[in-house]
Structure 1
Amino acid sequence: MPAGLVISAPASGVGKTTLTLALARAWRNRGLNVQCFKSGPDYIDPAFHAAATGRASVNVDSWAMDRGTIAHLVGRGTDADVVLAEGSMGLFDGVAARGVSGTGATADIAEMLGWPVLLVIDPSGQAQTAAAIAAGLRDYRAGVRLAGVVLNRVASPRHEDLVRRALNDAGIAVFGALPRHAEISLPKRHLGLVQAEEQAEIGKLIDEAARFVAEHVDLDAVLGSAASWSPQPAANGMNVTPPGQRIALARDAAFSFIYPHMLEAWRAAGAEISTFSPLADEAPDASADVCWLPGGYPELHAGKIAANARFRSGLRAFADTRPVHGECGGYMVLGAALTDADGIRHEMTGLLGLETSFAKRRMHLGYRLAALGAPMPGHQVGARLRGHEFHYSTIVAQPDTPLSVVHDATGAVIAETGSRRGLATGTFFHLIAEDR
């Protein structure tokens, strides 16, 4: 029977991902099968999870997914010995208005699955106050259980002793304390972590993190704190309609942000996926019946994309007779032009009139609920799509027919409506699920 545990923290940037990867690899090194999940809308961490465990990881999201979908996805951990769900942001951080089955908070997943929470606490600049924070999180919401704490970035043995004593007085188990260790820090980029496939030394980095954590954390005690878990059969699956039978999917360093569960759902529904690389100047498979350009980092490769004539002409020819859809970065590449952070304007494919700029960065972040006013691949007029938007580009022009009416999680209408022209469509949000 698998043992389930949620890894969370009071805030972002405390060390959840590093601890999750280290625990997963350390237990795997002991011969255990470890399955990871990511709570919330993050398309980067699951690739790191897979690198640590050798098993594919997917997202579970209480704002965008119903309980049946979450149960279906989590059911992949049935044959594992340990199941870890890495949280996002702070334990109770979500949106103000409830979505399908919650607010998107990690605590929703912990309560829904009945798994205790392992807190990562960074006590930098404090001592006993760290115990007050942990106790507050423990007591904040009935139904969410605290397993214990791992301290990260402790300054000295004396500092550790002060924090440990306070936590012990509060009745909170301390499973270990990690001194500052810069060598296991994961590199950052403007949208968060650098992707796993971009790091040639990712295996060594995770091995070092596992060694370091095993040296400072009681792995047996952490494992013993996890809940024995009997997955309940899901009443239904993903209920996802693929965008086509044969899907040409852009896939390289500029186009890699797509939720793993979406690709799995497409394949499970019988779709075939062929990949191509715009950065290698490849065109979509001519035998495909739809082309999908995910998000990623096209702004870092805008000059190369603009110069790759075979890709651009091939995509245009494809769009003459078959649908093409782009999400976020893919949407930008379907547009007329993209201005990079240095203020240089690059012509894109011109299938849509969208123009975007990174010259003045402005963050666009949050859940999105879109009501389609026109069809897009896999979804008809009137469909309600749930997704997440995260980018720093600014719209210079969005002249085409709006694809949808888009609301944020508070219900406010936003300007990023997406576009449609001919057989080309695009959205700034990344699709997570369709309302049933």
Structure 2
Amino acid sequence: MTARIAPGLLVAAPRSGSGKTTLTLGLQRALRRRGLNVRGAKCGPDYIDPAFHAAATGSPSVNLDSFAMDDALLDSLATTVSSNADIVIAEGSMGLFDGIQGEAGRMGASADIAARFGWPVLLVLDVSGQAQSAAAIALGCTRYDPRISIMGVVLNQVASERHRRLVEDGLSLIGLPVLGALMRDKSIALPERHLGLVQAGETGDLEQRLESLADRIEQSVDLDRILSLAQTSLTPAQSHKPPLHPPGQRIALAQDQAFSFVYPHILAGWRAAGADIKTFSPLANEPPPPDCDACWLPGGYPELHAGKLAAATRFLEGLQQFSETRPVHGECGGYMVLGQTLEDGEGQVHTMAGLLPVSTSYAKRKLHLGYRIATAAERSVLGDGGARLVGHEFHYASITEQAPANLVHVTDATGADLGSAGHRAGLVSGTFFHVLRA
């Protein structure tokens, strides 16, 4: 039986900070309250927002990245979220057209995803500090890329009814429908920290916040019209090979507030390949489960919990014993914990697992951000020597001491040589970038 493919839409904006996440989550929860099977998706390599989508909809979300993912993987993931759902509410990243310089449709821009799957764009306009001029911005968005269709706009940060009328007057001149307007309200903002939103699992009143967002959306947005305008050109795709080969048959996965940045499609791919994933919490001083044959430490916020991790002797000793006979890999935050020491934001240095020849510091901050294309130096859990990996790096930590990097050779999205990166020592490996696919 052929799966039913749901219509969808993409919530996007001309720039970051316009209110995409607020509108996306409010729409997802409001439509779920109507009894619809709502699914979410996030454009780009963001590993925080999909967890919020899952909380709002009650179903897993996925990342869709036109640069880092090939056609087969993109189509397979989109089919996964669209099959037998009632509607897909996808969320863009940064501005609608923001991406890398490169081949059309392969720039990592949210517009690429809207165009590929035929999802119309619901444009969020932050109209603070402007009125009719907002229409000029919206008009530019409608004409910039002929591949996409903008279904209408939702105004955000509206100061008053008079302000709203002035903005709508400008938009009427270009024939773009206003499908909702959200008044200024600081109370609906989700808490943030240095890598973006505070994680869904750490937002204690998240359910209450989602319900409040849904209330506002129901009052301020034309849900019926939005539902009627959603559409898609997606056709069912075949399942795709795992985006990353499982590191083992039974995988010990660190999962808590210090280790949570793992892409849903990576875990789904491992499970589809027959792997069994068992989670454990380093912050609860739990060692990797002894019946597993590989250990994976994802990224997260170990810099905020460095003291507690340094005191977690059962975890550290168990990790060291595990690594003597089975592979251990760390991504970003996991890489930092596998190193010798980690300096926290206050300048206090904490002893870590000591399994890799690298020391890191969050006190000495420098933003590292961008796509990474890596070639494996030799065989590891990431693949055979010479294997090509596509990933993303986003962190503020710096390396203070290290032996020569020996895990992968890295370029950025444009092909600029970034040198060698990451370390491997025995069965232990780690790197700052997060793998999106091999």
TM-score (norm 1): 0.97
Would the aligned equivalents of 2:408 and 2:420 in 1 still touch at CA under 8 Å?
Answer: no
Q: 2:150 aligns with which of 119, 142, 146?
A: 146
Given the superposition, is the C-alpha separation of residues 161 and 235 from structure 1 closer, same or farther in structure 2, using an over 3 Å criterion? same
Q: Which amino acid aligns with 1:395?
A: I
Partner of 1:251: 255
Which residue number corresponds to residue 214 of structure 1? 218
Q: 1:46-61 alignment to 2 at 5 Å?
A: 46-61=50-65
Greater shift in the superposed pair: 279-288 or 239-248: 239-248
Letter paired with 1:120? V
Partner of 2:341: 337
1:358 shift after superposition:
1.4
Select which of 57, 64, 69 maps to 1:65. Answer: 69
Residue equivalent to 2:437: 433
State the match for 2:93 in structure 1. 88
Aligned pairs for 1:152-231 within 5 A: 152-229=156-233, 231=235
Q: How far is 1:237 from its partner?
A: 4.2
CA RMSD of aligned residues (A): 1.4
The offset of 1:158, in angstroms, is 1.2
Amino acid in the other structure paired with 2:100: V
2:411–2:419 contact (8 Å) kept in structure 1: no
Q: Is the 8 A contact 2:407 2:420 kept in 1?
A: no
- Rounded to whole Å, the distance in 2 between the matches of 1:49 and 1:414 is 34
AA at the equivalent of 2:89: L
1:79 aligns with 2:98: no
Contact 2:52 2:200 in 1 (8 A): yes
Structure 1 contact 244–378 (Cα < 8 Å) conserved: no
Q: Report the 3-state secondary structure (helix = DSSP H, G, I; strand = E; otherwise coil) of the residue aligned with 2:247.
A: coil
Q: 1:402 is paired with a residue of what secondary structure?
A: coil
Q: Which moved more, 1:398-407 or 1:167-176?
A: 398-407
Report deviation, 1:185. Answer: 0.9
Q: Does 1:405 align with 2:413?
A: no
Asked if residue 132 in structure 1 is aligned to residue 136 in structure 2, the reply is: yes
1:171 shift after superposition:
1.2
Counterpart code for 2:30: A
Say if 2:127 is the partner of 1:123.
yes
Q: 1:409 to 1:326 in 2, by over 3 A?
A: same
> How does the TM-score come out when normalised to structure 2?
0.96
SS of equivalent residue, structure 2 residue 290: coil
- What letter corresponds to residue 402 of structure 2 in structure 1? Q
Output the CA distance in 2 between the equivalents of 1:85 and 1:192: 18
Q: 2:320 & 2:362 partners in 1: Cα distance?
A: 25
Q: Are the equivalent residues in 2 in contact too, given 1:400–1:420 (CA < 8 A)? A: no
Report the counterpart of residue 232 of structure 1 in structure 2.
Answer: 236
**Aligned-pair distance for 1:181?**
1.6
**Does the 8 Å CA contact 2:370/2:412 hold for their aligned counterparts?**
yes
1: distance between equivalents of 2:431 and 2:257? 20
Measure the CA separation in 2 of the matches of 1:238 and 1:4.
25
CA deviation after TM superposition for structure 1 residue 232, in Å? 2.7
Match of residue 293 from structure 1: 297
2:399 matched residue in structure 1: 395
